[in-house]
Amino acid sequence: MKLLLFQAKQFYWKSYSKTLEAVPDQEVAETVPETVVVFLHAEAEDEARPGLETKIVKNIKWLANKRQLKNIVLHSFTHLSGSTASPEFAQALLNGLEQRLRSTGYQVWQTPFGYFCEWDLSVYGDSLAKVFKEL
């Protein structure tokens, strides 16, 4: 599992092109202010790792709490490793993370799964605003 997390002043995304035929068509454009943006890469070996979802949630909440951020954006980003989990696993993981974060008071968005997206990311300058985690 690879996570690239940002404390962002603002994150904008727009669906650009579909990369997985099996996902529904989506044309979306959204902007979320004051958010933690999570670029998540699920690796093949993650499919057999119990407790992984809990570790990811703890990392996200830890970073969000450093700046009292209550907005979270989850983005599947399969560019952080050569090993890739199945799309079904990655989608289920993102959905589970969203549900768990919402249940603890966070507002959560997911970028369209199975799409390349256009982004505009404004990140705070301190070093803690940009975190890479390998779980």
**In angstroms, how far is CA 61 from the centroid of its own chain?**
13
For the chain, the straight-line distance linking the first and the last C-alpha, in angstroms and rounded, comes to 5
What's the whole-model pTM score? 0.94
Query: Domain 2-125: which CATH class?
Result: alpha beta
What's the DSSP call for residue 135?
-
The model's pLDDT over 65-122, given as tens digits with 9 standing for 90+, comes to 999 999 999 999 988 888 999 999 999 999 999 999 999 999 999 999 999 999 999 9
Task: Indicate the pLDDT class of residue 14, thresholds 50, 70 and 90.
Answer: very high
**What are the extents of the domains in the chain?**
2-125
Tell me the C-alpha distance between 50 and 25, whole Å. Answer: 32
Hunting for tokens 């979306």 — which residue is that?
28
A 10 A CB-CB count for 26 gives: 12
